[in-house]
Chains A and B, each alone.
Chain A
Amino acid sequence: EVQLVQSGAEVKKPGESLKISCKGSGYYFTNYWIGWVRQMPGKGLEWMGVIYPGDSDTRYSPSFQGQVTISADKSISTAFLHWSSLKASDTAMYYCARQTSGYFPFDYWGQGTLVTVSS
C-alpha cells in the first residue's frame, strides 16, 4: 500500500528555521516525484514545487523560489521542506504528494503538517 507519512505539527517563532518531512513507503521512492502543496488557513491549494529523489532534480513555483528549499534523502525514502527564516505568513497546512512523472497529477497525498509561526 502506498503511503506518505508526514512529520507532526510545529509551532515556531518568526526568524526560526524549520524542516518538515514526508516518508514514502509501499513503492519505489526513487522512481516518483514528490511535491509540496501549501494551504493557508481557510484558503485554497498552492503548488510549491517538486523533487525527483532519483537524481534530486527540483522545480519550484516562481512564487516559492528562494523562499523554501525542497530536498530528499533516497536512502531513507524521505522528502523534506525547509525554511531558513520563518515568517508569520508561512502559517499553513503543508501537504506532500506523489507524482508519477513530470506531467502527471498528484495521485497519493500525505496527511499534512500544520506549521504555525507566531511570536
Chain B
Amino acid sequence: EIVLTQSPGTLSLSPGERATLSCRASQSVSSSFLAWYQQKRGQAPRLLIYGASSRATGIPDRFSGSGSGTDFTLTISRLEPEDFAVYYCQQYGSSPTFGQGTKVEIK
C-alpha cells in the first residue's frame, strides 16, 4: 500500500498570501495518478486537481498542482476567505489511499 504523508499538518496564513502544501508518497505514484481535494467543515470533499496538475471543472486558476514520482505540491496563489479548509491528497492507482490532510487556517 502506498502511504501518503502530507505536510505541514496545519498552515496558518492570511487572506491574499500564498499557500504551499506538500504530499510525499512512500513509493512512486503510477502515471501521476495523484489528486487533491478540499473539504470544508460539515461538507463532502470536492475534487480540485487530478493527474497531479489538471484542474477539475470549475476550479479557479489560483489552485495549481505539480510534481511527479513521490513528491507533489498543491499551491494556492492568493488565499481567498473561502479557501480556508482541509486539503487531502489521494493516489488513485491500484489500491488507492489518501493522505492525512493539511488544515489551512486563518492566521
Chain A residues engaging chain B, CB cutoff 8 angstroms:
37, 44-47, 61-62, 95, 97, 99, 103-107, 109-112
Contacts and interface: CB of A to CB of B under 8 A. Distances in A.
Given A44-B101, A47-B97, A95 B92 contact: no
Contacts of B45: 37, 45, 95, 97, 106, 109
A62 B1 contact: yes
Contact of B92 (A61, A62, A104, A111): A104
A44 B47 contact: no
B63 interface: no
B44 A47 contact: no
Interface residues of B, number: 24
A44 B96 contact: no
Given A45-B45, A62-B1, A111-B44, A105 B101 contact: no
B90 A47 contact: yes
Contacts of A47: 90, 96-98
Contact of B50 (A46, A62, A105): A105
A46 to B, nearest CB: 7
Contact of A105 (B30, B39, B47): B47
11 contacts: A44-B88, A44-B98, A45-B101, A46-B98, A47-B96, A61-B96, A95-B45, A104-B50, A105-B35, A105-B92, A107-B47
